[in-house]
Structure 1
Amino acid sequence: MQITAIEPQANKSEQVNLFVDGQRLLTVSALVVERLGLVVGQELNAEQLAQLRREAAVQQALDRALNYLSFRPRSRQEVHHYLRRRGTAPELIEAVLERLTELGLVDDRAFATFWVESRERFHPEGAQALRSELRARGVAPEIAAEVVSQGDDEERALRAGRKKVQALMRGGAGKNYEAFRNQLGAFLLRRGFSYETAKRVVRLLWHEARASAADTDPADEPMD
């Protein structure tokens, strides 16, 4: 078997058509042709052809994974599940994950850090909820524990609670401590904060909100 032509595709410059003995054998990434050092006139034996087909399949799966990663960082498990859903063979998935790891594009510790920072910026949650989300995405418990600090929960709860307080004040709950406590407390518990953290933060934000409104009614003050 002799390579008789290597022609770029008209609409996909990164893909080439490989011709063997005058017949188109397959379409493959130009990266694979370069990596294997294929040139016109080269003879291919059965072993080399098998390697070419495998490299082409790995590159195709790698391109899919890179597109998936272009939207946001992913955990190793997320990439694995995505490729499996796309029908990629298990042995190819492992080869792709190995290459992505070598390139630094799949790193569960870096992913966990991204996930926590994103949550803290847009959707603050308690440490328990954050660790649970990371474990659900395949991050090892020890990495999740390392990245998520339980000691930061009160600050997270304050950030989450302040956004919710604005809605509570508009809805009238800001005039009655019991209504304020019930609604904000339930909200914080749903976000994965402990009862004790929620209780402290509710009281802090109640006083903060009342001071801001400059409309304190002694009858509505919480009892110690």
Structure 2
Amino acid sequence: MTERDPAAGRGARPSRSAAERHQPEDPEARARELCLRLLAARPRTRAELRRALVRKAVDEEVAERVLSRFDEVGLIDDAAFAETWVRSRHTYQGLGRRALTAELRRRGIADDVVAAAVSEVDPEAEEERARELVRRRLGSVRGRDQATAVRRLVGMLARRGYGEGLALRVVRDELRRAGEETDLLDEL
């Protein structure tokens, strides 16, 4: 948007806004600048950057050239992004393999890259993380009837991407360890 410079007087040409003055005229330079600005904030996938460029009305061919160049020089690496994402979200958010797979797919990462990254989560480590989550949550279900406690604990694990079999087994074991009734789970 242009503004009139009040000091320039009547009939003067409108001045360009600060954003327009700093906006590169070259579409490729503009696309590079957008990508670099986004990557400076946090790592991004190629698909995330492509969506951002589309939102900013960057031509598809220009976007593809810029993204390919960023791939070549290592500024975009979906495999490294996926590995880091899986490690972080599994460790700090307690997400299971299903949830991690869904998140990476939503971010536009290829299925083979997703599978490789998620396979890094060791089944024993996944089970141990599920146990930690249940132990942390046990205090909030003490005194509740068995069905409610089981439903809440299994539901919490399911929402975090743990499979039904694993969730039921972990909840049963941890309730037993805590001295709670497990006869509902023993029937399953």
TM-score per shorter chain, which class? 0.7 to 0.9
Matches of 2:42 and 2:88 in 1, distance apart? 11
1:48-100 CA deviation, whole Å, 9 max, x = no partner?
xxxxx6xx321221111111112221111111001111121111111110121
Matches of 1:150 and 1:28 in 2, distance apart? 43
Alignment of 1:143-162 (within 5 A): 143-149=113-119, 152-153=122-123, 155-162=125-132
Matches of 2:173 and 2:49 in 1, distance apart? 42
Q: Label 1:157 to 1:86 Cα distance change in 2 as closer, same or farther (>3 A).
A: farther
| Unaligned stretches of 5+ residues in structure 1 | 1-25, 30-52, 211-215
1:32-54 CA deviation, whole Å, 9 max, x = no partner?
xxxxxxxxxxxxxxxxxxxxx6x
| C-alpha contact 2:90 2:96 (8 A) present in aligned 1 | no
| Unaligned stretches of 5+ residues in structure 2 | 1-20
The one of 174, 177, 188 equivalent to 2:142 is: 174
Matches of 2:86 and 2:115 in 1, distance apart? 11
Q: Label 1:119 to 1:186 Cα distance change in 2 as closer, same or farther (>3 A).
A: same
Larger mean CA deviation between 132-141 and 111-120 belongs to 132-141
Number of residue pairs matched by the alignment: 163
Alignment of 1:56-135 (within 5 A): 56-135=26-105
Secondary structure at 1:74's aligned position in 2? coil
The one of 197, 200, 203 equivalent to 2:169 is: 200
Backbone CA RMSD of aligned residues: 2.5
Letter in 2 for 1:156: E
Q: Label 1:154 to 1:177 Cα distance change in 2 as closer, same or farther (>3 A).
A: farther
TM-score by length of 2: 0.74
The structure whose RCO (Cα within 8 Å, separation 6+) is larger is 2
Larger of the two Rg values belongs to structure: 1
| C-alpha contact 1:125 1:157 (8 A) present in aligned 2 | no
